[in-house]
């Protein structure tokens, strides 16, 4: 392998492997050649290959599994931690887990501006990213029965806030967010296809319309499908 000026060998190798992953030659879950195979292909020692793979692993482009090998990682959504808005390209497919009525606890009462113990409706869904058709996010949305009545006959595989906003004829789509860490319980882990206890990011989002709360949503993001940055 011919070394480029100002670039180390492992950086050159990492760049070539990165390009193969990014251009789709090695799609998610593809097993990469072994370290000896890559060493022979590039004409370098295994330590150099290991450094290149370490660089890609740090970027989240590959996953190394003991006893199995090295695999191209699933694509992750890179979002802005300020807005928490998801790009349209990631799709809107949701799968309904449950719809149930419950009594508002202190948190729900404060976020929805209702009395504690008032009956509210909880809509529990899993969101899938289009590129992978894999569970990427849990969405537990709470609203008053009056608000839910507006969307009871709607398609719950699609976003519900825009429908609520349209039917209430409100002009604002602003929201208030709080970000929290969470360890997935057994139910959450099963829905996201992850081990129980996995650390994830939880977002409390109160959706507003004309300055009034319309819906309170708890979102739990799969750490394998999402990562966030401060600004983009």
pTM, two decimal places = 0.64
Rg (CA), the chain: 22
Which CATH number characterizes residue 64's domain?
A: 1.10.10.10
According to the model, what pLDDT value does residue 109 have? 93
Which CATH number characterizes residue 92's domain?
A: 3.40.1410.10
According to the model, what pLDDT value does residue 169 have? 83
Residue 123 DSSP SS3: strand
- Would 209 be classed as within a structural domain? yes
According to the model, what pLDDT value does residue 33 have? 94
According to the model, what pLDDT value does residue 104 have? 94
| Interacting residues of 152 by C-beta distance below 8 A, sequence separation 6+ | none
40 and 147 in a single domain? The answer is: no
- Would 27 be classed as within a structural domain? yes
39 and 119 in a single domain? The answer is: no
Say if CB 70 and CB 28 are below 8 A apart.
Answer: no
According to the model, what pLDDT value does residue 159 have? 82
According to the model, what pLDDT value does residue 232 have? 46
88 and 182 in a single domain? The answer is: yes
165 and 220 in a single domain? The answer is: yes
How many whole angstroms separate alpha carbon 199 and alpha carbon 6? Answer: 39
How many whole angstroms separate alpha carbon 80 and alpha carbon 230? Answer: 6
| Interacting residues of 99 by C-beta distance below 8 A, sequence separation 6+ | 121, 122, 123, 124, 156
142 and 33 in a single domain? The answer is: no
Please give the tally of structural domains in the chain.
Answer: 2
187 and 92 in a single domain? The answer is: yes
Ordered per-residue pLDDT tens for the chain, 232 residues: 555 555 688 999 999 999 888 888 888 888 999 999 999 999 999 999 999 999 998 877 888 888 888 998 876 555 555 555 555 556 678 999 999 999 999 999 999 999 999 999 999 999 987 655 778 889 999 999 999 998 999 888 888 888 888 888 876 666 777 888 899 999 999 999 899 999 888 989 898 888 889 999 999 988 877 665 544 4
- Would 3 be classed as within a structural domain? no
Structural domain that includes position 122 = 77-229
37 and 114 in a single domain? The answer is: no
Count the Cβ atoms, other than its own, within 10 Å of residue 214.
22
Angle between helices 46-59 and 9-22 (to 10 degrees): 50
How many whole angstroms separate alpha carbon 70 and alpha carbon 59? Answer: 14
- Would 1 be classed as within a structural domain? no
Distance from chain centroid for Cα 73 = 14
63 and 114 in a single domain? The answer is: no
């Amino acid at each position: 392998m011919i070394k480029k000026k100002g670039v180390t060998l492992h950086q050159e190798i990492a760049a070539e492997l990165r390009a193969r992953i990014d251009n789709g030659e090695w799609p998610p879950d593809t097993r990469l050649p072994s370290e000896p195979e890559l060493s022979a292909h590039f004409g370098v020692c295994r330590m150099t290959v290991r450094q290149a793979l370490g660089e890609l692993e740090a970027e989240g482009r590959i996953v190394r599994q003991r006893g199995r090998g090295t695999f191209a990682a699933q694509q992750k959504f890179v979002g802005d931690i300020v807005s928490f808005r998801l790009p349209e390209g990631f799709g809107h497919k949701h799968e309904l887990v449950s719809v149930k009525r419950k009594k508002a606890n202190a948190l729900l009462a404060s976020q929805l501006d209702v009395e504690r113990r008032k009956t509210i409706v909880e809509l529990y869904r899993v969101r899938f990213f289009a590129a992978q058709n894999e569970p990427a996010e849990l969405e537990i949305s709470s609203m008053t029965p009056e608000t839910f009545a507006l969307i009871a006959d709607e398609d719950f595989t699609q976003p519900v806030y825009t429908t609520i906003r349209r039917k209430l004829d409100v002009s604002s789509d602003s929201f208030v967010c709080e970000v929290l860490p969470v360890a997935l319980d057994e139910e959450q882990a099963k829905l996201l296809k992850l081990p129980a206890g996995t650390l994830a990011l939880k977002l409390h989002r109160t959706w507003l319309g004309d300055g009034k709360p319309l819906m309170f949503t708890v979102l739990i993001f799969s750490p394998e499908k999402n990562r966030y940055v401060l600004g983009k």
